[in-house]
Structure 1
Amino acid sequence: MAGEMSMIGSVILALFLAGYLGQQYLPPPKPKVIGLDLGTTFCSVGVFHPGSGEVEVIADEEGRKSIPSAVSFTTTAVLAGHDAVDLADSNPQNTIYDAKRFIGKIFEPEVLEQESVRYPFKVLNNNGSAEFVISTNHTFTVSPEFIGSRLLLRMRKMAEGQLGVPIQKAVISVPAEFDERQRNYTVRAAQLAGLEVLRVINEPTAAAMAYGLHKVDVFNVLVVDLGGGTLDVSLLNKQGGMFLTRAMAGNNKLGGQDFSQRLLQFTAEQVRQQFGVAPTVKEDIHRLRLAVEAAKLNLTLHPSATIRVPLHLHAAGDGAEPPAASPVLFQATVTRQLFEELNEDLFQKILVPVKTVLAEGHLEKEEVDEIVLVGGSTRIPRIRRLISEFFGKEPNTSVDPDLAVVTGVAIQAGIMGGSWPLQVSAIEIPNRHLRKTNFS
């Protein structure tokens, strides 16, 4: 018996030694499972590298780690991401964005009509489901899941180009409030992109994993997810490696686009005061919008930013093509203080769902162990200050908020792919009775 135990021990030791030597001297296997964050405004793809245990968020050819969640149809092509956004102003009726708001949802006719008014493209009601009307060399309709599939296919190709291996499996994230139908339609979008979905994970849980909270002793985690178009606040309760979503609230009409719009309106008025006419030409508005967005991003790091844009101004407000005359140069400096004043009422709205989830989760704000920030808009200094003042402590900012969800999904993809070193998996406890409270 002693001899047998000694032999077993030797075999185990040899296996561990072989694994260690293999890890040290052999090239690690390529990841075979990708993690996908299909966001309302932007989406990203990441992988967990075996051996090193590091997450890589895969960039496109220009080095950008997120692509806009937009798809544009022309007479010759279907473009996704940045290429689609470039056509948004010249081809607005055939450039679809915000498709995630519609995927898998059943709408009352009047509700869908109210939603569709916000967009330049046409939305049809097909027995309660939304479809988008496309008119190129002929007219046809596409579903929200088809739009999602083109974005997922673009990210799959990005991953295959970076890794040099074909990718057929994925883990994908969804909002915590997505019901079974919305989750199934998201999976269908992935299938249309040629992907097998191994697991669907809630976005707040993915964010918590990105911050490493699945491996430490915390109990109450508040996730504030403020992206380009929506605000989602989730209260997670963690016991061991299990996450339970206790409460959710949000505002599906509040995000970075709204903050940019306030600055755009202010800037357009400055143009009118300086030149006697407001910008009406599509090219002018497009350039001004891009400059304002760049200024907003600069103001997260600097106390002021300069907006400098050539404009083809003219008195006709018909949106005609710009005249051949040389453009005028509009130039203005905006400060962080001005930006905060323009948006203060919108910033205050962030606290409304925060207070709601605490009340519905029967929790005092002092009992929150970690505050996790997700989404690029949480970079805005005033928003971080607002949250820290409310809770009396600083939120966790150790992870890039733009990439928190995709990082967590990539970790889960590594777990599903059996990657070494082994990670603690996050198990979500489904809360069938949970409903999201929405404010607008």
Structure 2
Amino acid sequence: MSARRIVGIDLGTTHTVVAWADPASAAAPEVFPVPQLVSAGEVEAQPLFPSFLYAPISGEVLPDPFGDAPWVLGVHARRRGGEVAGRLVASSKSWLAHAGVDRTAPILPWGAGEDDEALPRLSPVDAASRLLLHIKRAWNEAFLAYPLEKQDVVLTVPASFDEDARELTVEAARRAGLEVRLLEEPQAAFYDYMARAGKDELAALCQRSGGEALVLVCDVGGGTTDLSLIRVRPGEQRGAIEVERVAVGKHLLLGGDNMDLALAHLCESRLVESPDRLPPARFGQLVLACRAAKERLLGGDPPEDVAVTVLGKGARLIGSALSTRLAREEAERVVLDGFLPPASLADRPRRGGSALVAFGLPYERDVAITRHVAHFFARHAPGAPAPHALLLNGGVFRAKRIPERLADAIGAWGASRPEILPHADPDLAVARGAVVYGLSLLGRGVRIGGGSARGYYLGLSAGASGQRQAVCVVPRGAREGIRYDVPGRTFSLTVGRPARFPMYTSDEALDLPGAVVTPDLERFSALPPVSSAFEPGARPGEVTVSLAGELSAIGTLELACVETGADAGRRFRLTWDLRETSPDTAVETEGGVSSGKSTRPSAPVGGKRLEDAREAIARIYGKGRADVTPREVKDLVRELERILGERPTWTAETNRALFDVLWPGHKGRRRSADHERVFWQLAGYTLRPGFGHVLDEERAANLFSLFHERVVFAQEARTWQHFWIAWRRIAGGLEEAAQVAIRDLVDPFLAPSEKRLKKPKGIRAEPDADVVDLASSLERAPPGRRTELGGYLLERTWTERDPRIWAAIGRIGARVPAYASAHHVIPPNVAERWLDHLLREKWAEMPTAPRAAMEMARLTGDRARDVSERVRRDVERRLVAAGAREEWVQAVREVVAVEEADRAAFYGEGLPVGIRLVS
């Protein structure tokens, strides 16, 4: 008997599937039916385990045979979640790929609000972990001799999952006690096809295609569309078949969920009168009802129409139900015409306009799958008229007209219609294919080759030429775990000070390691650069190194810089997150691509000027020196500007270099009132915005250790002012607990007198405007606390005509945070109440009103955050009448990215590239 099993787990957006095989047996992979609650009192093992978690309402007693409490998972969870609003976690897999939220924070169910304190909440990582833990317990009960944690487990992920999402998936598995190997889902689907078809059918496919076959794998799941191009050709040895992955598509948050949303929007227009909308929880019920209707209307032997019903709440469960009927013709029109329209090879996905979203997930703006397919194939198979065959995976392809429509669209490119490869049980294929892959690692069956779908390039210092350059460190097609040396090149590496290391990726360029290229934006994408400091504290300089790169199994790139010459032996390592750059954060700069944008000039400061500035700070805050005069202390900032230039020209590197001299002397702030005032003035300025630079997390934590010491010279009003300003400036680097501690201190000074909050002694919350600015900038404080603060300030507007108050209210009520996770945004009904007050103001007398209105009414596409359409229309009209910036009007009218110039925080600008080519 074999000592282990190969287990494949498809952790899907809609369903989770488990398959397994005994490697000592020749039997095909089997699907493991997952036991789960299918009704209030019935447990049944089914091949599909719905990836839904439901929190029972008070008094609802359900059996818990798998230790899932306080959640119910699977079939019954999906059913009850469609009946009870606001208690269902769905599409948690899609949340794993959403960088706009804290994926480790308890943010799900999304949009449930804070009013139900008894409602349990969990993070996207924990949701995935609970699904895996249920599977582990069910498996271990069925296979006592083969505990899942001791088997070879292959866990599938979308091919387009970025490094963050892959790492979080691995972390979810670890929390469930599993060590896993990741496999991309389209590859898994093709492994399943190969196992079922056999070598003879693969050879026949090559013959039908004229010698070799290009197969487009299109995997449309619940939350993502994954595209992969695979080449199948005869091997060198007689009867052998070679299979190679040629390309992988970019991340597309587009799938069955989007189809359900489109149908839900259609039905909603019949259930409620415009501009009214269903609240997020009930709209979630409608989406589930439309999903069930879609599956019936596009399945085998469909009815003419299906009832779509949204139940009421509580005692009015039936009485307040809303119902309409969805016709088969309507479902086909929405899905076929909207998601599978005709598209030529020259078509490109549309980037403008608003995405059809409802729950805060950044869905693809263009839902036309055919346009994404055309663009993908044109980029990766130039000259080829079309793929020879299609392998279609995902539940949506069960509907016969959907694969036919996709094949027709591709056939219209001018070539013959591609062959649709037979693919039984697409819901089960990925899990079975993961097992086949596991067996191939043991030498059983054909292994898909091709290696990495992308090549990776390290950005180099532009030098005197000013031209951006990069060197290939890991080529496209690279194998995992293999070191790739960069031959014939030497480089100079910056040590002793922070530096930026840009990284580019290309899924088109074919370069060998060591090739130096110009990374044009047509063929190359920029990854967020790594900022690092080798040998911090040492004298700044450069060392000559050689380079080698290595790609890990889960998608990290490790770069080794090995010192050469007389002092050879030292190694410097960097690790990149190989994820796609967000268009909202990556911008072109003179030296490459920066993670944030500053509109201010950057002065190239270094050498003696920086050393003189560091010495000026050390003279004041280092060991006490008798020759330091009070005037020198007062004039320190002016002296630094004399040395370095005006403060707005100081780069992030310069600022952090100054902070790193200032911090060790923080006790020196106690020497005099001027020492303390200047300390806080410099500390806040040189550490702002508290994140985005190497070691900032440690710096912000160190500085916060001084918060509870308050101000030593407590009678000095100007020192208190710089104290409050410093915390506002670095707010983005403070965790929630630190931000709450600041709010606890200042709230008694901001709350109305009737709140009777006791003011702590010895604190001067002055000037009031600076304290208000600080409090309103603490975006990580819980939404309830931020709502409370907005109420305090709103009450002031009745008697105070201070524009800064409305600016602060706008920040608190903003629909898009400047730096915090989206789950910190206050409820939209609160923002609507504030907007109602703001719309009554005389905007001609309140210059901050237009921006505040825009921030609170900005359209995000997230029903849990957006104010009502009626309110947005009112704000839009008022902005137009006030002659507000067109960009602000557009932000209220449709979903647009936040302009970097409108963000209060920026990070990473000004660091020099840390490596240059020597020869």
Same fold? TM cut 0.5: yes
Say if 1:90 and 1:384 are closer, same or farther in 2 by CA, change over 3 A: closer
Structure 2 residue aligned with 1:296: 294
Residue 326 of structure 1: CA displacement? 7.3
**Which residue number corresponds to residue 445 of structure 2?**
423
Q: Deviation digits for residues 105-124 of structure 1, max 9, x if unmatched?
A: 6x3xxx449xx9x985269x
Larger mean CA deviation between 83-92 and 290-299 belongs to 83-92
**Residue in structure 2 matched with residue 45 of structure 1 by the alignment:** 18
For structure 1, the residue ranges without an aligned partner over 5 or more in a row are 1-27, 124-131, 313-318
State the distance in 2 between where 1:279 and 1:78 align: 29
- Aligned residue in 1 for 2:875: none
Question: 1:247 touches 1:360 (CA, 8 Å); kept in 2?
Answer: no
Cα-to-partner distance string for 1:226-254 (whole Å, 9 max, x where unaligned) = 122322222234565553342414631x3
Q: Which residue pairs with 1:259 in the alignment?
A: 259
What count of residue pairs does the alignment treat as equivalent? 381
Q: Output the CA distance in 1 between the equivalents of 2:379 and 2:425.
A: 29
Match of 1:347 in 2: 340
Matched, 1:246 2:247: yes
- The offset of 1:341, in angstroms, is 1.8
* Mapped contact 2:82–2:285 kept (Cα < 8 A): no
In structure 2, the partner of 1:398 is 423
The letter for the 1-side match of 2:81 is A
Q: Which moved more, 1:174-183 or 1:428-437?
A: 428-437
Q: Alpha-carbon deviations, 1:146-180, whole Å to 9, x = none?
A: 22111112222343344453222301112222344
Contact 1:94-1:121 within 8 A present in 2 as well: no
2:32 aligned partner, one-letter code: I
2:101 is aligned with 1:121: no
Instruction: State the partner residue of 2:381.
Output: 362
Matched, 1:167 2:140: no
For residue 78 of structure 1, the aligned residue among 60, 63, 71 is: 71
Deviation digits for residues 250-303 of structure 1 (CA, Å, limit 9, x no counterpart): 631x32233334444555666789xxxx99799997886665434322332125
Q: How does 1:33-432 map to 2 (within 5 A)?
A: 33-49=6-22, 50-61=24-35, 62-73=44-55, 77-88=70-81, 95-103=88-96, 107=99, 111-112=100-101, 121=110, 137=118, 142-164=122-144, 165-168=146-149, 169=151, 170-197=153-180, 199-212=181-194, 215=199, 216-217=202-203, 219-238=213-232, 241=242, 243-249=244-250, 251-252=252-253, 254-267=254-267, 292-299=290-297, 300-308=299-307, 320-321=313-314, 323=316, 334-335=327-328, 337-343=329-335, 344-348=337-341, 349-363=368-382, 366-389=385-408, 390-391=410-411, 392-416=417-441, 418=442, 422-427=444-449, 429-432=451-454
Measure the CA separation in 1 of the matches of 2:406 and 2:318. 49
Q: Are residues 345 and 400 of structure 1, via their aligned partners in 2, closer, same or farther at CA, if it must alter by over 3 Å?
A: same
Please give the alpha-carbon distance, in whole angstroms, between the structure 1 residues aligned to 2:101 and 2:384: 36
**Is this contact kept in 2: 1:214–1:424, CA < 8 A?**
no
C-alpha deviation, 1:369, in angstroms: 3.2
From the superposition, tell whether residues 79 and 413 of structure 1 become closer, same or farther in structure 2 (CA, over 3 Å). farther
More strand by share: 1
Change (3 A) 1:268 1:47: same
SS of structure 1 residue aligned to 2:47? coil
Deviation at 1:34, TM superposition (A): 0.9
User: Paired residue for 2:357?
Assistant: none
Structure 1 residues 136, 102: closer, same or farther in 2, change over 3 A?
Answer: same
Over 3 Å counting, the alpha-carbon distance change for 1:200 and 1:346 in structure 2 is same
CA 1:102–1:258 in structure 2 vs 1: closer, same or farther (change >3 Å)?
Answer: closer
- Asked if the contact 1:291–1:307 (Cα under 8 Å) also holds between the matched residues in 2, the reply is no
AA aligned opposite 1:88: G
Shift in CA distance, 92/232, structure 1 to aligned 2, threshold 3 Å: farther
Counterpart CA distance in 1 for 2:191 and 2:315 is: 50
- Identify the residue that residue 17 of structure 1 maps to in structure 2: none
Where does structure 2 lack aligned partners over 5 or more consecutive residues? 36-43, 59-68, 207-212, 234-240, 342-367, 412-416, 456-506, 508-524, 526-579, 584-894, 896-919
Please identify the structure whose Cα radius of gyration is greater: 2
Deviations 1:61-94 (A, max 9, x none): 3343222323345695233333443453577656
Displacement of 1:309: 6.9
Shift of 1:45: 0.9
Identity of aligned residues (%): 25
Q: Which position in structure 2 is the counterpart of 1:12? A: none
Offset at residue 37 of structure 1 (A): 1.1
Distance across 2 between alignment mates of 1:178 and 1:331: 37
**More RCO (CA 8 Å, sep 6+):** 1
Whether the 8 Å CA contact 1:47–1:411 is kept in 2: the answer is no
Give the residue type in structure 2 aligned to 1:304.
P
Structure 1 residue 208, shift from structure 2 partner:
0.9
Aligned partner of 1:191: which letter? R
Aligned counterparts of 1:238 and 1:375: Cα–Cα separation in 2: 22
Deviation digits for residues 344-401 of structure 1 (CA, Å, limit 9, x no counterpart): 1223211111111111103456452331111101222332122221231342132322
Q: Secondary structure at the match of 1:304?
A: coil
Q: Secondary structure at the match of 1:371?
A: strand
Root mean square deviation of aligned Cα: 4.3
* SS across alignment from 2:167: helix
Q: Is the 8 A contact 2:155 2:434 kept in 1?
A: yes
Alignment correspondent of 1:16? none
* Alpha carbons 2:158, 2:224 under 8 Å: kept: no
Residue type matched to 1:431 in 2? A
CA pair 235-214 structure 1, distance change in 2 beyond 3 A = farther
Which residue type is aligned with residue 167 of structure 1?
Answer: L
Q: Secondary structure at the match of 1:386?
A: helix
- C-alpha displacement of 1:144: 2.9
* Structure 1 residues 36-77: Cα deviation after superposition (integer angstroms, max 9, x where no partner): 111233221111245342121222233432223233456952
Distance 1:233 1:329, change over 3 A: closer
The Cα of 1:323 is off from its aligned counterpart by: 3.8
CA pair 397-323 structure 1, distance change in 2 beyond 3 A:
same
1:209 shift after superposition: 0.6
